[in-house]
Amino acid sequence: MRQAGRVLPEYRELKTKHTFVEMVKSPELAAEVTLQPIRRFDFDAAIIFSDILVIPEALGQPYEFNEGAGIKMTTLKTAADIDRLDGSAVEERLDHVPQALRLVRKTLQDRTALIGFTGAPWTLASFMFDGGGTGEHAHLKRMFYTDRPLFDRLMRKLTDAISRYLLMQIEAGVDAVQIFDSRGGMMSDGTFAEASGKWIGEIIRSLKGRVPAIVFSKGTNGNWNDLAATGAQMIGVDWTVRLSEVRARLPKNVGVQGNLDPFVLTTTPAVVAAETERLLRDMRGVPGHIFNLGHGVPPNAALENIQMMMDTIRSFV
Ligand code: CP3
């Protein structure tokens, strides 16, 4: 999940000198931001500092991140916009990511796992049509229901670019890759597999098992079978379901992570300790569990709460 960002004073300090996109594109700065949360909290895994929106950018659709205003991008509108997307230079345009990964790996050695990531085709398509907004996503949903050949053309481009991008990250030495389908829950339980799951499955198959794949899909609690069918080794779970019940419904060789409501990190250390313990008790003795949040660290989380979460996990018996 997102662990860097505004919550860290050392990140905010860098942001006074560089824009978000500058930091993503500079291997040295991206490596530094990746390491900041590890230095402070000694998490078991680092996730490379980048963004899911580097894929639209590599296909010819740039984005910006503005303080206060969030994500801004010129959105796709027509079939011609989709046909203009050009995946031929993905490796070249995203070369800064493997460079950053190699720098991080050099510092972390084998002490801390390193995770590469991407957005899922469906979630990326949603940003490409609707930008940062979270309205009813009418444009993309309408295309899915009424013009499947065009929808499939867009998904094919995204799936190919993403597969190549993850292979680049694997070549650069990541221990696992995570596919974020943060907007998977926009679809009904009956359409998720066609709109999103099958494309994620294609991507995972293209990796040929070289590293484990984690799929985080938010709000898709009616789709455990579809998620398992992607071939993911780990499923990231939001905080609206009981993790032990999800675990019990999945095949034995699929693990689970996530599930702590990130909001608790904005409350008090006592609440954090209680909620962390509740989750750990629920999963006591259950194999295939990695502790994680149900979504990214909120920008207004308190550092002492993150520390309390870590202390509670590490001292749990
Ligand atoms: O530790 C890390 O930060 C890992 C790197 C990472 C970022 N984004 C950096 C980032 C990861 C894994 C992501 C994934 C990402 N980006 C997702 C999927 C996961 C999720 O949270 O749902 C999505 C949907 C995006 C797109 C995106 N990027 C949005 C919607 C925003 C704005 C959110 C906001 O806080 O307004 C971003 C910005 C972003 N990406 C930040 C970071 C650290 C915040 C920038 C900042 O705080 O300066």
Give pLDDT tens digits for 267-285. Answer: 999 999 999 999 999 999 9
Ligand 1 geometric centre to CA of 286 (Å): 31
Question: Which ligand 1 atom minimizes the distance to the CA of 182?
Answer: 22
* Residue 122 beta carbon below 6 angstroms from any ligand 1 atom: no
Cβ atoms 175, 211 nearer than 8 A: yes
Ligand 1 geometric centre to CA of 223 (Å): 24
* Residue 45 beta carbon below 6 angstroms from any ligand 1 atom: no
Backbone angles phi, psi at 191, to 5 degrees: -110, -10
* Residue 2 beta carbon below 6 angstroms from any ligand 1 atom: yes
User: How does pLDDT run along the chain (317 residues), one tens digit per residue?
Assistant: 898 989 999 999 999 999 999 999 999 999 999 999 999 999 999 999 999 999 999 999 999 998 888 898 989 999 999 999 999 999 999 999 999 999 999 999 999 999 999 999 999 999 999 887 767 788 899 999 999 999 999 999 999 999 999 999 999 999 999 999 999 999 999 999 999 999 999 999 999 999 999 999 999 999 999 999 999 999 999 999 999 999 999 999 999 999 999 999 999 999 999 999 999 999 999 999 999 999 999 999 999 999 999 999 999 98
* Residue 96 beta carbon below 6 angstroms from any ligand 1 atom: no
- Return d(Cα 125, Cα 123) in angstroms, integer: 5
* Residue 49 beta carbon below 6 angstroms from any ligand 1 atom: yes
Among 36, 51, 72, say which to mutate for ligand 1: greatest number of ligand atoms within 8 Å of CB. 51
pLDDT of res. 1:
85
CA nearest ligand 1 atom 25, residue? 52
- Return d(Cα 87, Cα 56) in angstroms, integer: 9
Question: Which ligand 1 atom minimizes the distance to the CA of 11?
Answer: 48
Among 50, 65, 165, 178, say which to mutate for ligand 1: greatest number of ligand atoms within 8 Å of CB. 65
Ligand 1 geometric centre to CA of 3 (Å): 9
The structure's pTM equals: 0.97
Burial of 167 (0-12, 13-18, 19+ CB in 10 A): middle
- Return d(Cα 231, Cα 224) in angstroms, integer: 12
Ligand 1 geometric centre to CA of 284 (Å): 31
Residue of 50, 53, 77, 76 whose CA lies nearest to 64: 53
Ligand 1 geometric centre to CA of 290 (Å): 21
* Residue 63 beta carbon below 6 angstroms from any ligand 1 atom: no
Ligand 1 geometric centre to CA of 156 (Å): 24
Q: List the Cα angle 315/275/179 in 5-degree steps.
A: 90
* Residue 299 beta carbon below 6 angstroms from any ligand 1 atom: yes
* Residue 133 beta carbon below 6 angstroms from any ligand 1 atom: no
- Return d(Cα 257, Cα 232) in angstroms, integer: 12
- Return d(Cα 157, Cα 167) in angstroms, integer: 16
With tokens 């990250």, the residue in question is: 169
Its sign, for the CA torsion 218, 221, 222, 226, is positive
Ligand 1 geometric centre to CA of 51 (Å): 6
* Residue 169 beta carbon below 6 angstroms from any ligand 1 atom: no
